[in-house]
Structures are given as structure tokens and as C-alpha cells.
């Protein structure tokens, strides 16, 4: 995966495959609402494992039953790169198994 910044057009095209994700303040963002605090906490643990596997970490916030992410590549000056989109895709796939909305 590349650390090269993506153009706003490239990002918008890729977001078509990532429902609920948005470009906000130069970062990819998404919040998931789950059925319980336990489900949200479990999702955080699973997202953390994916982040470790990819060696790419987002800002990750846990609320009562909400998990929020903000993703950007710091080594690319805070731009959105392929790394961010890969992480967003992996989280999307993970969230499907966690009854997230």
C-alpha cells in the first residue's frame, strides 16, 4: 500500500464502496452504533487487531454503544492514502459481523 496522497476525486470514487464513511476535515470518518456497550467494546478490540496487522492506526473512540474512527496517514502529512482506504474496507467488513449501523 502506498503512502502517496490520493486526490479528492479518487477518495470520493472509493467512498462509493464504503457506505457511511465520509471525508471530513481531510480525514476519513465513520461512526458505528452497536446494540450494547459490550458489542462496541468488542468491536474496538477487533479494529485494534486489524490496525496492528496493517501497522496503520486510526483515532478510535468508544462511546456507550458507539465506535467512531478518524483515519489519515501521518507519514503522508495527514493526507488520505491507500492505507486509509484499506483500513476503512477492513473495518466495514468487520462491522458487518458486529451488527453495526
Q: What is the pLDDT of residues 59-92, one digit of tens each?
A: 999 999 999 999 999 989 999 999 999 999 999 9
Answering whether pTM is above 0.95, one says no
Query: What are the grid coordinates assigned to 45, written together?
Result: 478490540
Give every CB contact of residue 9 below 8 A, 6+ residues apart in sequence.
Answer: none
User: How many CB atoms within 10 Å of residue 9?
Assistant: 8
Q: What is the pLDDT of residues 22-69, one digit of tens each?
A: 999 999 999 999 999 999 999 999 999 999 999 999 999 999 999 999
For the chain, the domain total comes to 1
Question: How, if at all, do strands 66-71 and 22-24 pair?
Answer: unpaired
Q: Which of 38, 35, 31, 37 is nearest to 88 (CA)?
A: 31
Q: What is the CATH number of the domain that holds 50?
A: 3.30.1360.20
In a domain? residue 2: no
Four-residue CA torsion sign, 26, 37, 95, 19? negative
In a domain? residue 59: yes
Amino acid at each position: 500500500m502506498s503512502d502517496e496522497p490520493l486526490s479528492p476525486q479518487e477518495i470520493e470514487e472509493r467512498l462509493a464502496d464504503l457506505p457511511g464513511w465520509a471525508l471530513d476535515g481531510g480525514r476519513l470518518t465513520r461512526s458505528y452504533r452497536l446494540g450494547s456497550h459490550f458489542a462496541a467494546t468488542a468491536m474496538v478490540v477487533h479494529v485494534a487487531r486489524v490496525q496492528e496487522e496493517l501497522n496503520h492506526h486510526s483515532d478510535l473512540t468508544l462511546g456507550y454503544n458507539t465506535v467512531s474512527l478518524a483515519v489519515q496517514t501521518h507519514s503522508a502529512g495527514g493526507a488520505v492514502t491507500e492505507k486509509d482506504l484499506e483500513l476503512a474496507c477492513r473495518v466495514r467488513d468487520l462491522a458487518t459481523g458486529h451488527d453495526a449501523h
